[in-house]
A and B are shown apart, each in its own frame.
Chain A
Amino acid sequence: MLRDITLGQYFPGNSVFHRTDPRVKIVLTMLYIVAVFMADSLLSYLIMTAGTILLIAVSRIPLKTVTSGFKTILFIIIFTAVLNIFWTKGENLLFSFGIINVYAEGLIHAGKMVLRLACLLMGTSVLISYTTSPIALTDGLERLLSPLKVIKLPVHEFAMMMTIALRFIPTLIEETDKIMNAQKARGADFTEGNLLQRAKALIPILIPLFVSAFMRAGELATAMECRCYHGGEGRTRMTVLKTKPLDWILLSVFIAYGVGIILL
């Protein structure tokens, strides 16, 4: 059961976005988010939606995968829609029921909000989650933020922590499985009882898991020391990220997209 958890939502492929420099992708995502929030007129909404559809098409991520993300934010979408429908006041009253008045403006506003949220979710997940491996994302973040080292922000340390966390997720999941089986073999029951009882049943899993995680951490630290790790200072990297013409083309396209939405 626990083995099914995938690392992030990375969907391997070879589309334009898969090949884009992770640093550029982070910038593109920020541009995209700003653009989506700046959309106001009907025309700009059309451009926003068209752009998002194009984004999904180019990424070649199956539509089913992209829309599956909706389940998690369905509540927020419905909540926003309901709030907008019933609380927006306008001039064109559609119908009235007791103290509840629904205006045409409210419906339009709700539609816009839902569209915006949907675009935001699909666009960013296609740009970042589905087309960037977690390791590339960490790497991109470290390099993009490296100027912040000047103001003593521990950028390298943060990236190192992310990398190690990603590395140990499968290991610790495997370990959890093992401990669970060991406890089950001694008669532990994780499936019955109320919430509190089930939460209590998890304690005999969590304690050995934590103990072993700390022991692993100690051993890993020694092994890293043996491999001459001494923080980010003076460290070089094997892979050199170089921006390709494609990255610059994408960047200009996104800037044009954002400017278009803001102006129209």
Chain B
Amino acid sequence: MKKFIEIKNLNFSYEGDEGERVPVLHDINLDINKGEFVTILGRNGSGKSTLAKVINMILTPDSGELRIDGKNIAAELTDEELMAVRRRVGMVFQNPDNQLVATIVEEDIAFGPENLGIPSAEIRQRVDDALDTVGMKAFARHSPHQLSGGQKQRIAIAGIIAMLPECIIFDESTAMLDPKGRQEVMDTIEKLNREKGITIIAITHNMEEAVRGDRIVVIDGGRIVKQGTPKDVFAKPYELWELGLAVPQVTELFDMLRCLGADLPESVITEEEGAEKLARLLETK
């Protein structure tokens, strides 16, 4: 598989109140393939959001290599090159209210393409396509403040899709939403990954979301401490508990059953799978 993002020995620190350097990321090595769905987990202050901001060059790393599609972007970039990086790697933030610029939904989605200097007719087309992808066509002429949190976040996603990115980073984009809104946004993210082949980097606290990805990367204290498929990462729940993280409820349940002597050797991460295994276990008894 083709590598889309390659990070080698990357370090980042910010300037503290007294001018001292406060290190945040230490020696990060991470490769992300084209079309992959990677979840980044970590407790508050672990550096996961910082890593996201470094990837699309909102923050500049101190040292190390950061390649996007083979091109090293940690080196000096011209404004045009910087714009090109941000077009290819879009970012959706936590608070939907603080990302929307215009007072009309479709005007807001057009904001990105307008900045890129795309001809009017094509912007119109892209906006319609993006609205369609996130399932918000009926709201094209609405004002953002009339929408629910989940709907606003889908508009924010549409605003990024309209720039035709190859990768989208979601920085805790579901953290402020209610369960329904969270479901809407997660479904949209999955759809983008499956149908459009867009590489997804999702930063989250929510374990039920993390199991949806191809790979989980766990960050703690600015270092990558664990990575693998959701099944592998959740196989030993206590390792995650030690890092201040949780595991999906169903995984925890199976772990407890295993401790009580049930014959459940494999870890379980989705509820469907769990229900099936439990049913089979009960049948054999």
Cross-chain contact of B114 among A216, A223, A225, A238 (Cβ < 8 A): A238
The residue in chain B whose Cβ has the minimal distance to the Cβ of A231 is B115
The 0/1 profile, CB within 8 Å of A marked 1, for residues 102-120 of chain B is 1110110011111111111
Query: Is there contact, CB below 8 Å, between B123 and A226?
Result: no
Whether A220 sits at the interface, judged by CB under 8 Å, is yes
The answer to whether B79 has its CB under 8 Å from any CB of chain A is yes
> Given A228-B112, A237-B120, does the pair A167, B93 have CB atoms closer than 8 Å?
no
Interface string of B134-147 (1 = CB under 8 A from A): 00000000011100
Q: Which of A207-254 contact B (CB under 8 A)?
A: 216, 219-220, 222-230, 234-240
Evaluate contact between B163 and A228: CB separation under 8 angstroms.
yes
CB distance B83 to A171 under 8 Å? Answer: no
Additional A-B contact list (17), CB under 8 Å, known A222-B93, A227-B86, A238-B106: A167-B100, A167-B101, A167-B102, A167-B144, A171-B97, A219-B95, A219-B99, A223-B93, A228-B115, A228-B116, A230-B83, A234-B117, A236-B118, A236-B123, A237-B123, A238-B113, A238-B127
- Nearest CB in chain B: distance from A199 CB, A: 28
- Given A235-B117, A236-B118, do A227 and B103 touch, yes or no (CB 8 Å)? no
| B98 in contact (CB, < 8 A) | yes
Given known contacts A235-B115, A239-B120, A226 and B101 CB-to-CB distance under 8 angstroms = no
Q: Which residue of A lies closest to B85 (CB)?
A: A228
**Is A57's CB within 8 Å of the partner chain B?**
no
Chain B CB within 10 A, most for which of A219, A228, A235: A228
Other-chain contact of A238, B93, B124, B145 (Cβ < 8 Å)? B124
* Interface secondary structure of A, over-half rule: helix
Cα–Cα, bound, A135→B116 (Å): 21
Whether, in the assembled complex, B56 has its beta carbon less than 8 Å from a beta carbon of chain A, the answer is: yes
Given A170-B145, A219-B95: A229 touches B103 (CB 8 Å cut-off): no
Which residues from 151 to 196 on chain B have a C-beta closer than 8 Å to any C-beta of chain A? 156, 159-160, 163
Shortest distance between the CB of B153 and any CB in chain A (Å)? 12
Would B107 and A238 count as touching, CB distance under 8 A? yes
Q: Using CB atoms, name the residue of chain B closest to A163.
A: B102
Given contacts A226-B56, A230-B83, contact A235 B102 (CB under 8 A): no
Q: Is residue B48 contacting chain A, with contact meaning CB distance below 8 A?
A: no
Separation of A234 and B119 alpha carbons in the complex (Å): 11
**CB <8 Å contact, B114 and A235:** yes
Classify chain B: how many residues form its interface, as a range. Answer: 35 or more
Q: Please tell me if the beta carbons of B117 and A134 are within 8 angstroms of each other in the complex.
A: no
Q: A135 with B159: in contact, given A230-B79, A236-B118 (CB under 8 Å)? A: no
Helix, strand, loop or mixed for chain B's interface?
helix
Distance between A16 CB and nearest chain B CB, rounded to angstroms = 21
Q: A171-B145, A237-B120 are in contact. Are A225 and B101 (CB under 8 A)?
A: no
User: B124 to A227, Cβ gap below 8 A?
Assistant: no
B150 interface hit (Cβ, 8 Å): no
* Contact across chains for A223 and B90 when beta carbons are under 8 A apart: no
In the bound complex, how far is the Cα of B163 from the Cα of A226, in angstroms?
11
B101 to chain A minimum Cβ distance, whole angstroms, is: 6
A164 CB within 8 Å of chain B: yes
Question: Contact between B107 and A236 (Cβ–Cβ < 8 Å)?
Answer: no
Q: Mark B34-69, 1 if CB is under 8 A from A, else 0.
A: 000000000000000000010010100000000000
Query: Which residues of A108-127 are within 8 A (CB) of B?
Result: none
Task: Let me know if A166 and B119 touch, CB within 8 A.
Answer: no
Q: How far, in Å, is B112 (CB) from chain A's closest CB? A: 4
Whole-angstrom CA separation of A224 from B111 in the bound complex: 9
Query: A225 near B103 (CB under 8 angstroms)?
Result: no
Given the complex of chains A and B, what is the CA–CA distance between A54 and B90 in angstroms?
Answer: 52
B74 contacts A by Cβ under 8 Å: no
Known A222-B58, A238-B107, A238-B127; contact A227-B115, beta-carbon cutoff 8 A: yes
Known: A163-B103, A216-B98. A236 touches B117 (CB 8 A): yes
How many Å lie between the Cα of A234 and that of B145 in the bound state?
A: 29
Enumerate chain A residues within 8 angstroms of B90, measured Cβ to Cβ. Answer: 226-227
Between-chain CB contacts (< 8 Å), 13 pairs: A135-B102, A164-B101, A167-B102, A219-B99, A224-B101, A227-B90, A228-B87, A230-B83, A236-B117, A236-B120, A237-B120, A238-B106, A238-B127
